Amino acid sequence: MNSLHTYLFIALVLFCIGLFGLLKRRSLIGMLISVELMLNAVGLNFMAFNRFLAPDPAVGQVAVLFIMGIAAAEAAIALSLILALFRKIRSINVEQARQLKG
C-alpha cells in the first residue's frame, strides 16, 4: 500500500473536498478554509511525485515551500478583504454581497 497511487488518491480526495466546500459554503471563512484544503492537496501531490519519481529530491520540496508561502499571503489578503466587506455590509455571507447583480 505504500505506493504513489495512495498519495495521489488522498490528494484527489482532499482537492475534491476543498472544491466542494468552495462551491457549497456561503460563508467566506468557510470558502477560505476550502481553498487552503485545495492548496494542501496540490502540495501533497508535489511531495508524492518528488518522493517516488524525481531524481533530485529538492525540486518538489521547493515548490511546496512556495505554495505554503503563497497560502499564507493569500490568507492574509483574503482575511483583510473579508474584514473590509464585513465593515461594509455587517456580514460575511456571500449571499448578502450581491451588489454586482446585473
* Separation between Cα atoms, residue 74 and residue 1, nearest integer Å: 35
Of 61 and 75, CB closest to other proteins? 75
Query: Closest approach of Cβ 37 to other proteins, in Å?
Result: 15
Query: Closest approach of Cβ 47 to other proteins, in Å?
Result: 23
Which residue has 498519495 as its cell numbers? Answer: 7
Residue 41, Cβ density class (10 Å: 0-12 exposed, 13-18 middle, ≥19 buried): buried
Q: Is 84 in the site for other proteins (CB under 8 A)?
A: no
Taking CB under 8 A as the criterion, the residue among 8, 17, 22, 78 binding other proteins is: 22
Q: Is 98 in the site for other proteins (CB under 8 A)?
A: yes
Query: Closest approach of Cβ 28 to other proteins, in Å?
Result: 9
Closest to 23 (Cα-Cα) out of 41, 11, 35, 36: 35
Q: How far from chain centre, in Å, is Cα 81?
A: 17
Query: How many residues would you count in the chain?
Result: 102
Residues in contact with other proteins by CB under 8 A are 19, 22-24, 26, 31, 94-95, 97-102
